């Protein structure tokens, strides 16, 4: 089983997988509790627009995805705060709009030798050293921000009114939360792809929630499920020659079904 690590690209794949396997559920649990689960899917489609734009500008796609996702996250939160548009309508607006613009840019960039398929469904075996370095830097930023603001993010996720009464700047920390989600989505697309990144940020959380533990323990268990799904998924994709992104999410779904069946009588 260890021969898989003889290949440099698989070493990078596992390192990238471990990084995303930690930060995706750590930030994802705040989104699930806050009922923001679909925002990960929206941001993933927005990030595709950043990828398409970065190809035209000939820069690293992760930078493009990060820039566009952060801008979109700020726009979505401002619209939500205005209360002039329903939350789900805002998500639909950004998801469909960004996807349409991405398709236009992809059409313009048709002459470039770019495999957009790998960004749609993930191609973890193509992670470069530069990608890995960016993942390390931004994952440290995400974890640090969560640790510093953990209590505030916890409160705004469960009850914004109570958080506001406690003197917390709810709008500011909502922006922080959605910005961290945007960073996570932009990094995770290299592991599972744009179309599946939302699942990696939500499914391990749902699996962990079946055990009815405290918030912190649920978060830890979600990370365990996420890492297990990535490790098992990478092994299966390597030895059975399956798409890595789809295999990882499929394993995560199996963990959810098993957790649900084990705990359904509780």
Q: How far, rounded to the nearest angstrom, does the alpha carbon of residue 230 sit from its chain's CA centroid?
A: 13
Mean pLDDT of 130-158: 88
Hunting for tokens 């002039």 — which residue is that? Answer: 84
Other CB atoms within a 10 A radius of the CB of residue 140 amount to 12
Q: How many CA atoms lie within 13 Å of 236's alpha carbon, on the beta-carbon side?
A: 17
Question: Widest CA span of the chain, in angstroms?
Answer: 57
Q: Would you list the domain boundaries of the chain?
A: 2-259
Q: Is 266 helix (H, G, I), strand (E, B) or coil?
A: coil
pLDDT digits (tens, 9 = 90+) for 203-261: 999 999 999 888 889 999 999 999 999 989 888 888 888 888 888 889 999 999 999 99
Phi and psi (nearest 5°) for 173? -75, -25
Hunting for tokens 């890492």 — which residue is that? Answer: 227
Q: Are 125 and 107 in contact (CB under 8 A)?
A: no
> What's the confidence (pLDDT) of residue 227?
93
Please check the confidence at residue 86 and state whether its pLDDT lies above 90: no
Mean pLDDT of 85-98: 78
Q: Is 159 helix (H, G, I), strand (E, B) or coil?
A: coil
Contacts of 138 (CB under 8 A, 6+ apart): 66, 183, 186, 187
Other CB atoms within a 10 A radius of the CB of residue 161 amount to 9
> What's the confidence (pLDDT) of residue 252?
92
CATH topology classification for 2-259: ABC transporter involved in vitamin B12 uptake, BtuC (1.10.3470)
> What's the confidence (pLDDT) of residue 238?
81
Could you tell me the pLDDT band of residue 117, with boundaries at 50, 70 and 90?
A: low
Please check the confidence at residue 182 and state whether its pLDDT lies above 90: no
Q: Are 1 and 116 in contact (CB under 8 A)?
A: no
Residue 113, exposed/middle/buried by CB under 10 A (0-12, 13-18, 19+)?
exposed
> What's the confidence (pLDDT) of residue 208?
92
Please check the confidence at residue 195 and state whether its pLDDT lies above 80: no
Tokens of 55: 């190809």
Candidates 185, 187, 177; CA nearest to 138 is 187
pLDDT digits (tens, 9 = 90+) for 1-14: 666 767 777 788 88
pTM of the model: 0.84
> What's the confidence (pLDDT) of residue 205?
94
What is the Cα–Cα distance from 101 to 49, expressed in whole angstroms?
7
Mean pLDDT of 116-139: 76
What is the Cα–Cα distance from 169 to 180, expressed in whole angstroms?
17
């Amino acid at each position: 089983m260890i021969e898989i690590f003889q290949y440099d690209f698989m070493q990078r794949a596992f390192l990238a997988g471990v990084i995303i396997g930690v930060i995706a559920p750590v930030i994802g649990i705040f989104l699930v509790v806050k009922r923001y689960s679909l925002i990960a899917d929206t941001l993933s489609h927005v990030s595709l627009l950043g990828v398409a734009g970065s190809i035209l500008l000939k820069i690293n796609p992760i930078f493009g995805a990060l820039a566009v996702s952060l801008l979109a996250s700020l726009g979505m939160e401002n619209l939500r705060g205005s209360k002039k548009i329903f939350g789900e309508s805002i998500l639909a607006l950004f998801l469909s709009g960004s996807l349409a613009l991405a398709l236009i840019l992809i059409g313009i960039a048709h002459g470039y030798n770019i495999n957009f398929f790998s960004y749609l469904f993930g191609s973890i075996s193509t992670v470069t050293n530069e990608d890995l370095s960016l993942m390390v830097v931004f994952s440290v930023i995400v974890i640090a921000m969560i640790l510093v603001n953990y209590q505030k993010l916890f409160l705004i996720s469960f009850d914004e009114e109570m958080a506001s009464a406690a003197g917390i700047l709810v709008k500011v920390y909502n922006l922080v939360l959605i910005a961290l989600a945007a960073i996570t989505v932009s990094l995770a697309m290299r592991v599972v792809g744009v179309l599946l990144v939302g699942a990696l940020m939500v499914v391990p959380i749902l699996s962990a929630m079946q055990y009815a533990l405290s918030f912190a323990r649920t978060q830890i268990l979600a990370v365990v499920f996420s890492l297990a799904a990535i490790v098992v998924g990478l092994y299966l994709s390597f030895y059975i020659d399956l798409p890595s992104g789809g295999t990882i999410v499929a394993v995560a779904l199996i963990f959810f079904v098993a957790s649900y069946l084990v705990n359904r009588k509780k």
